[in-house]
A and B are shown apart, each in its own frame.
Chain A
Amino acid sequence: MRALGNPDAIGGVVLLGLAAFYLAETARLPYLARVGVGEGFLPTWLGVSLALTAALLALRGLTAREPQTLSEATDWPRSLALLAGLAALALLMDDLGALPSLLLFGVGAMRLLGSRWPTAVVVSVGLVVLIALLFRAWLGVPLPAGPLGM
């Protein structure tokens, strides 16, 4: 099996980056208030805790005698494409409307999972109709309408 990297080391570095970003945001918040602790108190300690544990994870990954490797069997392009699709769904839902964006995501996700075009379209349309009936018509949940009013 071909080694694609050490997951602990990669995860540790990514988390270290997240901790750095979190601590940078925390630096704008006051650590102490006039009475008691400020809104930056807990985040500071959380950021430091994450940085320390992430460094430990990365170190453990790099110094392991038999380092784990990411499996070649994992379909990374499809996994990343699905994650990108989810992010796009969250970003576009307000502008495009909930139902059209869910329809696009449904078709795309089913195609990624190996479904044929007719199946993907029929199932996604059915799902969107069900969501519209259930949430919008019955429960009255105000889903984002978008330019098409859907």
Chain B
Amino acid sequence: LEVLSSLGLGFSIALQPHNLAFCLIGVVLGTLLGVLPGLGPSAGIAILLPVTFGMDPVPAIIMLAGIYYGAMYGGTITSVLINVPGESASVMTCLDGYQLARQGRAGAALGMAAVSSFVAGTAGVVALMVLAPWLADFAVSFGPPEYFTLMLMGLSTVAGLVSGSPLKALIMGVLGLMLGTVGYDVVTGRLRFTLGVPDLADGVHFIIVAIGLFGVGEILASVEDRSHVVHIPRVSLSSVFPTVADWVACRWAILRGTIVGFVVGVLPGAGATVASFLAYALEKKASKHPENLARALSRVWRRPRPPTTRRAPALWSRC
């Protein structure tokens, strides 16, 4: 009961008009920053922290939270529209979000990503407040064997995510791990594979690899195949808002994503990137057409219209 009253007090403060206004400002600033490739939520907070200097603590924290979530969503925008992840947690959004955009359904993909993120984020915060004492014990009990198992599970999702050759997926996984060995060894602190280049001492960051793979890959695809036409889809405001049918169709996907994100997010060190990989793997497992979620999505699309005017419901869970 005390938790509920605390939650009520928190929401009553957060929902005050001026706090909502600061949240909106934070979200707008965070989104603007988040669409820049390589700048994620942490960088967004660091860069925009001076904006909150001199403010009262409550609106300042609310604004910083808005910046964080805005920057997270900014990464989704570039993933869907131009196939370049803005930050590491949006890498999985590229896989089918961009395919939806190429089918003229960018608005639906962006809208549903925002709505599901809001639902999962809110549910996660509430659940965290209610379950925090038990979750703290659970998280602290996680030791090296548990983390090893979690990482092994994360790596094994590569086999589940691949739509082509499992051997090539395995090779890509090994190459990724090899890139991860560049820089300081976390156990001994000695340098490995820097080839005398000081810039490599910090290692090769995940987001740099992701941007390179998706962004440069897209450019090369357009050069290699003369019939490959790159187009940035037009998104109308009306196409962004999900319909009731969208909500019904996406309910299980949102629920599954919320649970996975919450459980993985609670663990220290795992983070949003691992959670997004596991959630995507789970959706592929749950889908009737795991080989191509975006194409399967188009099969359950209602009344297809030309790309610029299509109102596109995202029917994820039927895929």
Contacts and interface: CB of A to CB of B under 8 A. Distances in A.
The binding surface of chain B is classed by DSSP as helix
A74 B227 CA distance: 10
A76 B225 CA distance: 10
Interface in B203-228: 216, 219-220, 222-227
Contacts of A43: 178, 181, 192-193
A75 B178 contact: no
A135 B222 CA distance: 27
B188 interface: yes
Contact of B171 (A15, A33, A134): A15
A91 to B, nearest CB: 11
B174 A53 contact: yes
Interface in B23-56: 36, 39, 47
Interface string B104-123: 00000000000000000000
Interface residues of A, number: 35
B212 to A, nearest CB: 9
B70 to A, nearest CB: 15
B219 A73 contact: no
Contacts of A29: 190, 192
Interface in B184-199: 185, 187-188, 190, 192-193
Contacts of A47: 178
Contact of A50 (B47, B174, B219): B174
Given A56-B167, A60-B167, A79-B223, A22 B187 contact: no
A43 B193 CA distance: 10
Given A74-B225, A75-B226, A82 B175 contact: no
Contact of B187 (A37, A46, A113, A139): A37
B222 A113 contact: yes
B177 interface: yes
Interface in A73-89: 73-76, 78-79, 82-83, 86
Given A74-B225, A83-B220, A57 B168 contact: yes
A79 to B, nearest CB: 5
A22 B178 contact: yes
A112 B223 contact: yes
Interface in B146-173: 167-168, 170-171
Nearest to B48: A139
Nearest to B192: A39
B152 to A, nearest CB: 14
A90 to B, nearest CB: 10
Contact of B188 (A15, A33, A60, A74): A33
Contacts of A112: 223
Interface string B74-117: 00000000000000000000000000000000000000000000
A118 interface: no
A79 B220 contact: yes
Contacts of A37: 187
Given A29-B190, A82-B223, A109-B219, 5 more contacts: A33-B187, A50-B171, A50-B178, A76-B224, A82-B219
Interface of B: 36, 39, 47, 167-168, 170-171, 174-175, 177-178, 181, 185, 187-188, 190, 192-193, 216, 219-220, 222-227
17 contacts: A15-B171, A33-B188, A36-B187, A39-B190, A42-B177, A54-B171, A56-B167, A57-B167, A57-B171, A60-B167, A73-B225, A79-B224, A82-B220, A82-B223, A83-B220, A86-B216, A135-B36
